[in-house]
Chain A
């Protein structure tokens, strides 16, 4: 390339076979790289990188109390990311999971908000179902826009996420505001039966983690073992071939978005019916966006995503720790997330390419 000078040029040369070993070590390499970069940043900010490293990446695993919080956060991230990964593999980029999450939370909250006196074991399961449907409904708008109107799903789903945040504000400041809530933008506290039962006694980990694991298993069966999942992946890898084979592109888009919206809505419902116990402004701390990173970091593979969801959950908890113990601004977690995804994207380049140093004279003849 004429832009580069010097006798030797680094060149990415396509491998004959994708390297599985690189694929497996790419996530830990990316984590190491992102950690180094961010510790450097903390050093520049005049913070103690060792203390932050300890608080952020070790502490979440050092006590059962904080690890149980990691598990609690793993649930929503795992759910949303599994749903998104299915779409991403079909090259359907639903990046508005945040909005579908919010709609799930709103739909689920409708039951305890409208029927605060209701009792019975049916309440929390129906909240999860209605929440999931709400998320799928919100995502179906994007699918309609994409399939019928040919509109870019990235932009539409993101815009709908911004609209969803306003819708949540509207409900919490208006019709759904708790009349005895001292004017805080939050709904009434939900009744006992509207809460997902606790899974591990003594912690806040609830049954929704099992739901997320079941969904992961379902995603694995669907993507790795079913014909519908296969068709979806072919559509993503070779859209023309998929077209010749008669695989319907519109159906793939609908399926991707509905599954993604369903999972995100379910996660949103589980959040209000779980650790929060009410609808509030901060129902999602960016789960919908973080889940995009989780999906990629897990190699868009249902098994990989289980590990990356755990890691991302630990980062959330670790970020909170570092905020308390090392006075690290909460925005540092977002910086870490962004740089982690970048580092991963660089690392997986080596799955398909290897670096070769060639003499400039030969570099121009690939």
Chain B
């Protein structure tokens, strides 16, 4: 398998943690809530899933528990930031630190242990195509994440639920005047985002690299938040952005294994550098951000 085939085949799996977490953050931000705790939510989900799978509970239970745990932690965020109207930036940072701390605490005795990942499910015919065939051979979580992307896109594009979430994020006062429960919608959006961040962490820890190491999320939660900006709050573009980051992280992996004479530290920081560059390019287009951005993002709502 050459490097191109390697990247094509693995891109979606590498993209999945970014994709799931970014989709969750998208829903929260669409409702007007900036949750910066994604890194911690992913770290918590990762450790919970790892412990359960390691103890023989199976992947399904692992993912469910991870989603529940991270949703619960994100509800703590919601109580403080939405209930007590605290600064969302500070609350998100606190949740991030707390989540990473809990992750390290729970994972302490599992350091360097491994579990078995998930088998690949191949699409007939398509997965036999040369070069790009690997694209059609993925594990079940990747397939489900693709379905989730389409579902979230459809909810915002076509359903009343999507419209209500957007109204709450765009103009909470007007949404309330129309009778929509602003705070309740925001709580639900945050919990949903938390659950997806938990799944993202679980995927990273028990499927993508099924080995426990403290700090294994390694900034992916932050990149997921940046992805929401890259995708200008659209699920379809967030998917493309996640694929870009999947490809970037695989490319640096491929470069390291082929013995290319580039320092491994430079390669490790490649995703961060790409984030910085792309963030600069997208953000400098102020019209684009204004067009799709969320008007009340990060502002507390006082009924």
Min CB distance, B253 to chain A, in Å?
15
A145 within 8 A of B: yes
Residue pair A1, B265 in contact (C-beta under 8 Å): no
**Set of chain B residues within 8 Å of A336, measured between Cβ atoms:** 101
Which residues of chain B from 75 to 97 have any CB-CB distance to chain A below 8 Å in the complex? Answer: 76, 80-81, 84-87, 89-91, 93-97
Residue pair A341, B93 in contact (C-beta under 8 Å): yes
Q: Which of B108, B229, B289, B303 contacts A1 (CB 8 A)?
A: B303
Q: Which of B93, B99, B280 contacts A95 (CB 8 A)?
A: B93
Instruction: State the CA gap A154–B222 with chains docked (Å).
Output: 10
B263 within 8 A of A: yes
Q: Name 5 extra pairs, CB < 8 A, besides A152-B279, A159-B222, A342-B76.
A: A1-B184, A159-B279, A335-B105, A345-B90, A346-B84
B122 within 8 A of A: no
Which residues of chain B from 214 to 257 have any CB-CB distance to chain A below 8 Å in the complex? Answer: 214, 218-219, 222-223, 225-226, 229
**Set of chain A residues within 8 Å of B268, measured between Cβ atoms:** 166
**Set of chain A residues within 8 Å of B265, measured between Cβ atoms:** 166-167, 169-170, 173
Residue pair B104, A160 in contact (C-beta under 8 Å): no
> Which B residues are closer than 8 A to A by beta carbons?
36, 40, 76, 80-81, 84-87, 89-91, 93-105, 108, 181, 183-184, 187, 214, 218-219, 222-223, 225-226, 229, 263, 265-266, 268-269, 272-273, 275-276, 279-281, 283-284, 286, 289, 302-303
A238 within 8 A of B: no
A2 within 8 A of B: yes
Residue pair B104, A349 in contact (C-beta under 8 Å): no
Instruction: State the CA gap A150–B181 with chains docked (Å).
Output: 33
Sample 17 A-B pairs with CB under 8 A, ordered by A number.
Answer: A149-B279, A152-B229, A154-B89, A158-B219, A158-B222, A159-B219, A170-B265, A296-B90, A331-B101, A331-B103, A331-B105, A334-B98, A334-B104, A335-B98, A337-B98, A342-B94, A345-B91
Smallest Cβ-Cβ distance to B289: which chain A residue: A150
Instruction: State the CA gap A273–B272 with chains docked (Å).
Output: 29
Taking A150-B289, A155-B225, A160-B276 as contacts, is the C-beta distance between A335 and B263 under 8 angstroms?
Answer: no
Residue pair A170, B104 in contact (C-beta under 8 Å): no
Which residues of chain A from 135 to 193 have any CB-CB distance to chain B below 8 Å in the complex? Answer: 145, 148-152, 154-156, 158-160, 162-163, 166-167, 169-170, 173-174
Min CB distance, B209 to chain A, in Å?
18
Smallest Cβ-Cβ distance to B109: which chain A residue: A329
**Set of chain B residues within 8 Å of A3, measured between Cβ atoms:** 181, 183-184, 187
Residue pair A341, B99 in contact (C-beta under 8 Å): no
**Set of chain A residues within 8 Å of B187, measured between Cβ atoms:** 3
A12 within 8 A of B: yes
Instruction: State the CA gap A95–B87 with chains docked (Å).
Output: 14
Residue pair B184, A2 in contact (C-beta under 8 Å): yes
> Which A residues are closer than 8 A to B by beta carbons?
1-3, 12, 14, 45, 93, 95, 145, 148-152, 154-156, 158-160, 162-163, 166-167, 169-170, 173-174, 289, 292-293, 296, 329-339, 341-342, 345-346, 348-349, 353, 366
Q: Which of B99, B272, B284, B302 contacts A150 (CB 8 A)?
A: B284
Min CB distance, A99 to chain B, in Å?
10
Q: Which of A166, A289, A345 contacts B86 (CB 8 A)?
A: A345
Residue pair A159, B276 in contact (C-beta under 8 Å): yes
Q: Which 6 A-B pairs have the closest CB atoms?
A: A338-B98, A334-B101, A331-B104, A3-B184, A335-B101, A338-B97
Smallest Cβ-Cβ distance to B183: which chain A residue: A1
Q: Which of A155, A162, A174, A337 contacts B101 (CB 8 A)?
A: A337
**Set of chain A residues within 8 Å of B93, measured between Cβ atoms:** 95, 289, 292, 341
**Set of chain A residues within 8 Å of B80, measured between Cβ atoms:** 342, 345-346
Taking A158-B222, A166-B265 as contacts, is the C-beta distance between A353 and B276 under 8 angstroms?
Answer: no
Instruction: State the CA gap A118–B93 with chains docked (Å).
Output: 43
Residue pair B181, A1 in contact (C-beta under 8 Å): yes
Min CB distance, A2 to chain B, in Å?
5
Min CB distance, A80 to chain B, in Å?
14
Instruction: State the CA gap A160–B101 with chains docked (Å).
Output: 22
Residue pair A329, B105 in contact (C-beta under 8 Å): yes
Residue pair B108, A341 in contact (C-beta under 8 Å): no
Residue pair B97, A332 in contact (C-beta under 8 Å): no
Min CB distance, B79 to chain A, in Å?
8
Smallest Cβ-Cβ distance to B218: which chain A residue: A162
Smallest Cβ-Cβ distance to A332: which chain B residue: B105
**Set of chain A residues within 8 Å of B289, measured between Cβ atoms:** 150
Q: Which of A93, A333, A342 contacts B91 (CB 8 A)?
A: A342
**Set of chain A residues within 8 Å of B104, measured between Cβ atoms:** 329-331, 334
Min CB distance, A198 to chain B, in Å?
33
**Set of chain B residues within 8 Å of A162, measured between Cβ atoms:** 218-219, 222, 269, 272
Min CB distance, B103 to chain A, in Å?
8
Q: Which of A12, A95, A173, A339 contacts B85 (CB 8 A)?
A: A12
**Set of chain A residues within 8 Å of B275, measured between Cβ atoms:** 155, 159
Smallest Cβ-Cβ distance to A144: which chain B residue: B280
Instruction: State the CA gap A163–B277 with chains docked (Å).
Output: 13
**Set of chain A residues within 8 Å of B36, measured between Cβ atoms:** 154
Residue pair A155, B272 in contact (C-beta under 8 Å): no
Instruction: State the CA gap A167–B272 with chains docked (Å).
Output: 12
Instruction: State the CA gap A170–B270 with chains docked (Å).
Output: 14
Which of A3, A169, A289, A345 is most buried by chain B, counting CB atoms within 10 A of its CB? Answer: A345
Residue pair B181, A151 in contact (C-beta under 8 Å): no
Smallest Cβ-Cβ distance to A349: which chain B residue: B84
Instruction: State the CA gap A353–B93 with chains docked (Å).
Output: 23
Residue pair B97, A293 in contact (C-beta under 8 Å): yes
Min CB distance, A243 to chain B, in Å?
16
Residue pair B276, A341 in contact (C-beta under 8 Å): no
Taking A151-B279, A152-B279, A159-B276 as contacts, is the C-beta distance between A12 and B84 under 8 angstroms?
Answer: yes
Which of B94, B108, B281 is most buried by chain A, counting CB atoms within 10 A of its CB? Answer: B94
Min CB distance, B197 to chain A, in Å?
16
